[in-house]
Structure 1
Amino acid sequence: MVGSVWAALFLSLTCLSAFSLLSPAWFQTPTFSFGVLSYCSWPQGDSWNQSCGIFRSLDDIPDSAWKVSAALLLGGWLLLAVNALLLLAWVLAPKQLCPRRGSGKMPGVQAAAVITTAAGLLVFPAGLASPFAKEACGAPSVYRSGQCQLGWGYVTAILTTGLASLLLVIRGPHTTKAPGRTVRFSSDTEKIILMPEMGK
């Protein structure tokens, strides 16, 4: 039951992360918006009549910092997806086949996903100094958006990364001291492990 909840949470985070990564609304003006992999433009006051494009490869992305950010963000998303699939596999696997359900490299994969994604989020605003962003946002510079405003896609990516890091902290095993013994509680194995106290 607990494993199913974790798998559902991580699958939801993976989908939300993909949605924000594909979003063209990381920085926007009244007539233009762009994200890591896509961009859109529309006539003044008519945002329903949008014309959108995508960067098909890293070569199409207009700035080197932007390319590094895109690679990091895609890598972070892939690690988050691998983590979610591993969790789902452990939940669906028979107990006899996988007796130590939920253990293994998953916390490491999740931590790597969070660190990689956070690095990509920090590097992305350096791409505001590119000619592409200068044309869209007026006179931006590194970490200053000029006439552009922060869009929901970037905010969603930040929140997704924050939630993934929070789940990493919550998911770790908890230790409680009892007289003469250390009691370890692990939500993954759903067992209590009693360990003798080493020294006083």
Structure 2
Amino acid sequence: MMVGSTWAALGLSLTCISAFSLISPAWFQTPSFSFGVLTYCPWPQGDSWNQSCGTFRSLDDIPDFAWKVSAVLLLGGWLLLAFNAILLLAWALAPTALCPRKGSGQTVGAEVAAAATTAVGLLVFPVCLASPFAREVCGASSVYRSGQCQLGWGYVTAILNAVLAGLLPMIRWPRMTKVQGKTVFFSSDTDKIILMPEMSK
């Protein structure tokens, strides 16, 4: 129960951090403007407290095709993380008799897919620096060159979150070994060891 709750808490934490970075406008920024995947914020020079932020409400509002692709991938990665977290939470709260194999590694596939989708979205996003919108903000920016813009905390947070989401499946992956002619399954998130007799060949 305790181990399942721990994985559920980690999954929920990653989901919340991912959502926070996704709605953050601070992916690339200048002294008077910043933008992220879904939001942007201009403010008067030297008065960062007086921001007037806007949101791209649909894919049609996003000013570049690569930007749209990145937004879809990052949103997809977040949805997979959210689905995984809800599933882990359900298994942590469900009675053992009702769900005897809860938390035994069934969500590893969703975690891997979420991490991979998010990583691809993060790699695609800097392509939008060649868009007219980014050039107007960042000056002489181009693909993977930010010009006068600096990397913001929102992008860094998203990268760290993707790394953590990619490491969790490796930690939780069930391990298997052989002991005295029997197959022994070990799982880092269960307190059970399942012994199975070796099949004769």
| Residue equivalent to 1:160 | 161
**Could you give the per-residue CA deviations for residues 168-192 of structure 1, whole angstroms, max 9, x where no partner exists?**
1001012344343342211334211
**Cα RMSD after superposing both structures:** 1.6
Query: 2:194: which partner in 1?
Result: 193
Consecutive unaligned residues in structure 2, runs of 5 or more: none
The 1-side partners of 2:25 and 2:37 are apart by 7
- TM-superposed CA distance for 1:104, in Å, is 6.5
Provide Cα deviations, 1:60-110, integer angstroms capped at 9, x if missing partner.
000000000000000100000000000000111111211111146411111
Q: What corresponds to 1:140 in structure 2?
A: 141
> Which range moves more in the overlay, 86-95 or 15-24?
86-95
Q: How does 1:83-94 map to 2 (within 5 A)?
A: 83-94=84-95
In structure 1, the gaps of 5 or more residues are: none
Matches within 5 A, 1:1-200: 1-103=2-104, 105-197=106-198
C-alpha contact 2:105 2:174 (8 A) present in aligned 1 = no
- TM-score normalised by the chain length of structure 1: 0.94
CA contact (8 A) 2:8 2:85 kept: yes
User: Does the C-alpha gap of structure 1 residues 105 and 179 become closer, same or farther in structure 2, counting only changes over 3 Å?
Assistant: closer
Letter in 1 for 2:31: P
> Deviations for 1:106-159, whole angstroms, at most 9, x for unmatched residues?
111111111111110010000111100000000100111011010000000000
Separation in structure 2 between the aligned mates of residue 104 and residue 121 of structure 1, nearest angstrom:
26
Give the TM-score taking structure 2 as reference length.
Answer: 0.94
Q: SS in structure 2 opposite 1:44?
A: coil
Is residue 101–residue 188 contact of structure 1 (8 Å, CA) maintained in 2?
no
- SS of corresponding position for 1:141: coil
